[in-house]
Amino acid sequence: MKYKKNLFLGVSVITILTLSLVFALLDALIPLKIWIHPALNFLFALCIGFGIMTLVLAFAKKSPWFFFLSATLLGLAFFYVLMQYIAWWIVLIILVVVLAIFAVVSIIIAGNQTENIALNKSSDYKNYEQRKAEEQKKVNAEDEKPLPELKSFKE
């Protein structure tokens, strides 16, 4: 199962890279005049692709780290797009609002995980008696092993 997930992620990374490169080459060879420079278009497409991919991973794995990464990538892409049409200070305000929304969602998801741990709802949680019993089983298993026989070199 893990192999299929890694394969899917690998294929999606290659697809994003390929589409970004095609977009940049099209803009370089056939001037689409979408934005300023083909290299910036390449970076824009990469940021959008990887931003969406990390956003999906963030919801799938419930990871605050992936939310932060997707917010950064999508923020860079939107900053680049909006700078063409809106004043820079309005773009900055929009960017701060979007990052704040991502931060709140990230805190909510991380808070739910820590609440499960605090309320002992985690599947791998063991109370003191369970941990003590496991330690005692390990000690008993070590005690039950026969000691090696000592041989005397005098004989």
What whole-number percentage of the chain has pLDDT above 90?
Answer: 0
pTM above 0.85, yes or no: no
Q: How confident is the model at residue 121 (pLDDT cuts 50, 70, 90)?
A: low
Q: Read off the pLDDT of each residue in 52-67 and give the average, rounded to a whole number.
A: 83
Q: What is the chain written as a DSSP string?
A: -HHHHHHHHHHHHHHHHHHHHHHHHHHHHS---SSS-HHHHHHHHHHHHHHHHHHHHHHHHT-HHHHHHHHHHHHHHHHHHHTTTS-HHHHHHHHHHHHHHHHHHHHHHHHHHHHHHHTT-STT---HHHHHHHHHHHHHHHHHSPPPPP--S--
Could you report the per-residue pLDDT of 64-109, keeping only the tens digit for each? 788 888 888 888 888 888 877 888 888 888 888 888 888 887 777 7
